[in-house]
Every structure is written in C-alpha cells, then in structure tokens.
Amino acid sequence: MVSLGWIFARAWIASSLMLGGIAAAQAAGALAVGACGAYGFAYDFGQEQAARSAALGKCSGGCKVVAAMKRNCAAFAIDGRNACGAYGFAAASRLGSAQNTALRQCYHNGGQHCMIRAFVCDAKG
C-alpha cells in the first residue's frame, strides 16, 4: 500500500512540472520603437509573432520591432533633451546589460543627454 506522504509528494512534483512548463511556454517578447521616442513592448507571450504584433500595436509613429526576446531583456534609450534625435536599443540576458548597451548606442549616435526611456524583460529574463 502506498503511503499518504508519497501521494502528496507525487502530486506536488506533478503540479510543479506543469507550472514550470506553463512559465517556459510564455517566454516571448518584443520591443518596438518609432519616431520621437515612441515605443511599445510586449512580454510573456507564447509566440514570438504575437509578441511582435502586440508591441507594434502599443507603439505609434512609424514603429518597427527592433528586439525580439526569448527569455531575456530589452531596453530603449533616447536623448532626454531631444526625443526626436539620437536613440539606442539593445537586448541582453540581463536587464543591466541591455540598458548599458542601449545608453552606449544612444551616445554613439550623437546623443548628449541619453536616458533609458523603456525597458522590459520576458519570463526568466
């Protein structure tokens, strides 16, 4: 006869595996940028194309998807004194790395007062 403890242990393991599978499935995201600091982002989508569409839907001003994410982060930086000027964006496995790269790109593109305008991480990013 199986003890009650084993039944609970097996049920806990099974539920943990199911929840882990759900979290792993929801791991697609996207960052879209447009004119004059416009942006849109989406995260924790099941499909990359759905994330891209959602990010574009949240952005106005001639936007395009600049970063598709799969278990990582993305950041968007603009020149704080000229939103229609220089900008930068990046995706990386860690938020800090994405932000640093986006800022460096903004300065490299001629920005004088670059700042992070938006950032996003998807599941596990």
Q: Which residue has the tokens 């194309």?
A: 49
Candidates 79, 118, 75, 114; CA nearest to 98 is 75
Asked if the model's pLDDT at residue 23 lies above 70, the reply is no
Q: What is the mean pLDDT of residues 48-62?
A: 93
Q: 3-state DSSP call for residue 47?
A: coil
What is the tally of structural domains in the chain?
A: 1
Distance of CA 76 to the CA centre of its chain: 10
pTM surpassing 0.85? Answer: no
Residue at 51 is within a domain: yes
Residue at 7 is within a domain: no
Which residue range is the domain that position 50 belongs to? 27-121
Rounded CA-CA distance 71/13 in Å is: 24
Residue at 16 is within a domain: no
Complete edge-to-edge strand list for the sheet that includes strand 28-33? 39-45, 28-33, 64-70
Residue at 82 is within a domain: yes
